[in-house]
Amino acid sequence: MTADERLAVVIMAAGKGTRMKNPNKAKVMYTVAGKPMVEHVVDLASRLHSSRTMVIVGWQKQSIIEHLARTHPGVLCVEQNPQLGTAHAVMQAGPALQGYDGDLIVLSGDVPLLSYGTMAGMIEFHRRGKGVATVLTAVLPDPTGYGRIIRDGSGQVIAIVEQKDATPSQRDVKEINSGIYVFRSLRLFEALQHVTPENAQKEYYLTDVFGYFWRNKLPVLAVPTIDPREVQGVNTLAQLEEIRSVMESR
């Protein structure tokens, strides 16, 4: 297998999920179609033939670790403690990726509707376009809470702005960052060394690696999903019920 064919996956699953109103349960362990959300995402990584799958755990980590040890014993759970943002989460996978030269997918453990077809198409798009990074986007009627995709007049992505840092005009943008990416692994970890917590949340944002790529004229690609429901995350019990309804309709 060449470097252009290698694939590894990092799954974000460390969040507390405060709005789920149950401090004793990890958000990604809420079930959809009889399985915890995180298990659906690990299943997807398996279908994509990931050679290394790492789940970043934190809040109520033991329940996730024990469950995946039963269902997917080849998966590595890596703790993020303290939790200092999405870039910091990915950094925790660094030791397990020592010597790895290939593509790295970043997925979210609370996005269980993402399909194999969408991800396979995204990987193909990324490799054909020879990007150092590719972002999966979606156009939503209500983009509240998501980072916005900012494009120039020619349609090229020039910025990804988090909701809390967005100007009023940027908040009007409907195209959002799904938080799902494909990176060239070595370029990603090179860029992570330049990320700082200079933002409203004082966290290390994974989206800040794109600034490094743009400053160094490295190609960043973006591809929209056909069905925006696929990238819908779960932050509340109401959103969980919506996800369950979509899954049942499938």
One digit per residue, pLDDT tens: the chain, 250 residues?
555 679 999 999 998 888 888 888 999 999 999 999 999 999 999 999 999 999 999 999 999 999 999 999 999 999 999 999 999 999 999 999 999 999 999 999 999 999 999 999 999 999 999 999 999 999 999 999 889 999 888 888 888 988 888 999 999 999 999 999 999 999 999 999 999 988 778 889 898 999 999 999 998 999 999 999 999 999 999 999 999 999 998 8
Q: What is the pLDDT of residue 42?
A: 98
pTM beyond 0.75: the answer is yes
DSSP string, the chain: --TTT-EEEEEEE----GGGS-TTS-GGGSEETTEEHHHHHHHHHHHTT-SEEEEEE-TTHHHHHHHHHHH-TTPEEEE-SS---HHHHHHTTTGGGTT--SEEEEEETT-TT--HHHHHHHHHHHHHHT-SEEEEEEE-S--TTSPEEEE-TTS-EEEEE-GGG--HHHHT--EEEEEEEEEEHHHHHHHHTT----STT-S--TTHHHHHHHHTT--EEEEE-SSGGGG----SHHHHHHHHHHHHH-
- In whole angstroms, what is the distance from residue 219 CA to residue 214 CA? 7
Q: What is the pLDDT of residue 4?
A: 62
Catalytic residue among 6, 19, 127, 151, which? 19
- In whole angstroms, what is the distance from residue 13 CA to residue 38 CA? 7
Q: What is the pLDDT of residue 1?
A: 55
Positive or negative: CA dihedral 38, 13, 149, 124: negative
Whether 250 is a known active-site residue: answer no
Q: What is the pLDDT of residue 168?
A: 94
- In whole angstroms, what is the distance from residue 74 CA to residue 66 CA? 13
Is residue 152 packed enough to be buried (19+ CB in 10 Å), middle (13-18) or exposed (0-12)?
A: exposed
Q: What is the pLDDT of residue 3?
A: 58
Query: What's domain 7-249's superfamily in CATH?
Result: Spore Coat Polysaccharide Biosynthesis Protein SpsA; Chain A (3.90.550.10)
Structural domain spans, the chain: 7-249
Q: What is the pLDDT of residue 16?
A: 84
* Alpha-carbon distances of 240 from 17, 26, 67, 133, 229, rounded to whole Å: 12, 13, 20, 30, 12
Q: What is the pLDDT of residue 19?
A: 87
* Alpha-carbon distances of 201 from 164, 185, 198, rounded to whole Å: 8, 26, 8
Q: What is the pLDDT of residue 78?
A: 97
